[in-house]
Structure 1
Amino acid sequence: MDHQTFSTLLDRYLRGDLSREEAARLMDSLHDEDMRRQWESAVGGLLENKAMHGLSDPARMDAVRRSIMAGKAPARQTQPILKRLIRYAAAAAVLLSATLTTVYLFRQASQNRQQAAIPVHAGALIPGGDKAILTLADGSRITLDTAGNGAIASQGNVQVIKLNSGQLAYNTDASGKGGGISYNTLSTPKGGQFRIILPDGSNVWLNAASSLRFPTAFSGKTREVQLNGEAYFEVAKNPAMPFTVKVNEMAVQVLGTHFNVMAYKDENSIQTTLLEGAVNIQHGAQAMLLKPGQQARLSAAGKMTLNDRVDVEEVTAWKNGYFHFNHESLEGVMRQIGRWYDAEVTYEGDIPAREFGGKIERSSSVTEVMKILELSKVRYRIEGKKIVITP
């Protein structure tokens, strides 16, 4: 069975919409290792939801899981396996929806249905893409998503080039024209992202609603850029010229490394997460040296703390094209959705506190995302470019 057919059948199975013959065919997929892992994910998630089925004993849950995956009913169960599994699957569908995992697993199978079902009032909200504005030293602005490839600006002896891949690069002009160092600013709107190769060869991915100010050429004893919002850095190594990212009064100092800085003004803290190499975080008299897999958090009150159990996949998910939530609050989820779909998010009345987990592709429609939240009892309405969360 190919993966598209399997995903379609499993999607319908979780909704209790399969014939006996189709269900038997799906059961045969347990012999395929990749497809079995998807089964494990669905069944495992169900069994961990105690409120749904009351199986609080870990040994009992494990026995049920192993029995299902072995294709037979658990001990002391008298119902036929097909009916029993349909009950598990129906409950699993609710759980998977609540954790946003359904779209991640079954997006390809449901994409056409979702596109056909998008209501007219949601048409103003579309997934983000490669959008940015480059502000040159003289104040002129270039809209990069509509600019053609090739040289798009010249500043002194530096040419600004838009590559075929869509990213921005800076090259020294061989003509030898003079000129001092000037500063440019790359800005992404809500619903935008962009990648740039800095003059020293460092790669920077800029997330939505962010800006990066940098010189057109690095000189002297340090390389310094200024960030607002969020960016992922892969810094070119140059021990003689350390690289510094300034965020308000905080500085991230590196020689050559991979790290992510999240510094949105509407978030509770500035988060610097290290993936490779080493970075030194400084804020006033406070300093912190990070190792790979660690994260420094600077609170609004100016206190710096260390998180050494960070999920780096979650932190860099935006760069890789998807949302990744792990015990994220509804407000945190909606902040990310608002930035990516260029939506204003408002709340009416008292909204119950809740947490979400799972993955969903950022290319999904806003309706697709919000319908998943709706299955977890999140009520909402879309008014043009506004998403209103209601009790």
Structure 2
Amino acid sequence: MEPTSLAILIKRYIHDELQEEEVAQLWETLREDQHQEKWEAAMTALLEDEAAHGLSDPAKMEQVWARIQPRPSRSMQPITSGKWRWLAAAAVVSVMAGASTYFVLLRHPRTVAVAVHPATPLPSPVKPGNNKAVLTLANGTQIPLDSSGNGAVAVQGNSQILQQSNGQLTYKNSGTTAAGQLQYNNLHIPRGGQFRITLSDGTKVWLNAASDLHYPASFTGTDRRVELTGEAYFEVAQLPAKPFKVIVHNTEIQVLGTNFNVKAYQDEPITQTTLLEGAVKMKTGSQEARLRPGQQAQVQAGGMLTIKDEVDVEEVVAWKNGYFQFNHEKISGVMKQLSRWYNLEVSYQGNIPAREFGGRIARSSSIEEIIRILELSKIHVKIDNHKIIVMP
């Protein structure tokens, strides 16, 4: 395909003027390595065409790219000028097309970026996750929760439990509860779900898919203690006289008032605690450490505690803000996150290429869009009911 005809296809695609067979031709061109230079030239020409998009001003292009690209960690290698032109072009086309999603395949020696557009629907019942949870009260009663509920759910001790229609549960404490009347509740988030909860002390917690939070309906005593499996983001209410503690496996995270994210899935080899604001103290076995904002504590399965500096906190909390965000992530890591959110089992067939991915995908994306992204990266998958099979 000549560069001129390729540029025409790109322009017509952006304006939704392509026939189905022309769309297939465009995607196939991007898929094949031997067309990369022609594709890059066409994208660069489009980027420089002010009449097409009004973004030929380098300063404007820099602003667009800065808004879209994930912030690289210091361990990443700088992008060469040739790679910059390609990445910037793809990013601008993504903005022009109104896309909120982009993905990058990181591989030696070339970096390829793909602006994502809706793919042909697949015969699959798989849907993105949504607001859903199961609340278990102190007496064992289970209450299913979703986005449609609104109003009082139950009363536990002196706390009234209220559900809002935006996928949020709130505990309203009406008074002081004696220590002997402590009642524990559990909020379970299934695969394919997420939910928010405001505890009786005002602490806000966002819970990711496949997570459980075990907590008292009202806090009493000298501290506030909850237990977590899975992943959660905490905004802790400041009560200096009552430290807030999160128990994760054999680790205790203690704070007075701060924002932090904890990732502690049973199928992950490392428990990660990432601090955004304030200060926290970690304790596991005989080891202790204090975190500063931007640091991440990592606890290995064997109990070893290490501290990682200058973590990309936007990547860590992307799930809370409605995105998957990857930075040099292996396909196995990508698939773990996708499997929890889309409620999919994952299996692998054959020799899967050892590649790394980077970029951002809206969690509202359909599974068809995800499959298209992987196919463009030469990772082939197929859906069998609620099972995704990854192939070379």
Q: Is TM > 0.5 for Structure 1 vs Structure 2? A: yes
Residues in 1 aligned to 2:83 and 2:285: alpha-carbon distance in whole angstroms: 55
- TM-score, normalisation: structure 2: 0.76
Q: Which residue of 1 aligns with 2:55?
A: 29
Q: 1:155 to 1:197 in 2, by over 3 A?
A: same
C-alpha displacement of 1:237 = 0.5
Deviation at 1:27, TM superposition (A): 6.3
Q: Flag the 1:243–1:209 CA change in 2: closer, same or farther, 3 A.
A: same
Mapped contact 1:159–1:170 kept (Cα < 8 A): yes
- Secondary structure class of the residue paired with 2:281: strand
Structure 1 residues 169 and 206: alpha-carbon distance in aligned structure 2, compared to 1, 3 A threshold: same
The answer to whether the 8 A contact 2:104-2:358 is kept is no
Provide the residue aligned with 1:245 in structure 2.
Answer: 246
* Partner residue, 1:118: 121
| Structural mapping, 1:19-58, within 5 Å | 25-26=51-52, 28-31=54-57, 33-35=59-61, 37-38=63-64
Measured after TM superposition, the shift of residue 384 of structure 1 is 0.7
- CA distance change for structure 1 residues 131 and 288 in 2, over 3 Å: closer, same or farther? same
Structure 2 segments unaligned to the other structure (5+ residues): 1-10, 19-25, 31-38, 70-76, 94-101
Give the alignment partner of residue 98 of structure 1, picking from 101, 105, 108. 105
Alignment of 1:261-300 (within 5 A): 261-300=262-301
State the TM-score, normalizing by the size of structure 1. 0.77
Q: Can you list the C-alpha shifts for 1:147-203, whole angstroms capped at 9, x where unaligned?
A: 631111112322111124431111134799998120000010001000000010000
Question: How many Å separate the matches in 2 of 1:330 and 1:164?
Answer: 35
Change (3 A) 1:10 1:360: farther
CA distance in 2, matches of 1:241, 1:292: 22
2:14 paired with 1:8: yes
Deviation at 1:259, TM superposition (A): 0.2
Q: Normalized per residue, which structure has more helix? A: 1
Larger mean CA deviation between 172-181 and 372-381 belongs to 172-181
Higher mean C-alpha deviation, range 9-18 or range 342-351:
9-18
Q: Is the 8 A contact 1:149 1:166 kept in 2?
A: no
Structure 1, gaps ≥5 residues long: 44-55, 70-84, 90-94
Shift of 1:29: 2.6
> In 1, Cα distance between the equivalents of 2:251 and 2:176?
39
Task: Give matches, 1:79-94, under 5 Å.
Answer: none
**Hey, what does 1:195 align to over in structure 2?**
196
In the alignment, the residues of structure 2 paired with residue 218 and residue 139 of structure 1 have an alpha-carbon distance, to the nearest angstrom, of 19
Deviation at 1:42, TM superposition (A): 10
Q: How far apart are residue 374 of structure 1 and its match?
A: 1.4
Counting only pairs closer than 5 Å after superposition, residues 55-74 of structure 1 correspond to structure 2 as 61-62=80-81
One-letter amino acid of the structure 2 residue matched with residue 159 of structure 1:
Q
Residue in structure 1 matched with residue 97 of structure 2 by the alignment: none
| Offset, 1:25 | 2.5
Amino acid at match of 1:184: N
Q: Retained in 1: the 8 A contact 2:149–2:165?
A: no
Deviations 1:200-253 (CA, angstroms, capped at 9, x unpaired): 000000000000000000011010000000000000001100000001110000
For residue 36 of structure 1, report the CA deviation from its aligned partner.
5.4
Structure with the greater alpha carbon radius of gyration: 1
Deviates more, 1:156-165 or 1:21-30: 21-30
Residue aligning to 1:351: 352
Identity of aligned residues (%): 46
Q: Is the 8 A contact 2:147 2:165 kept in 1?
A: no
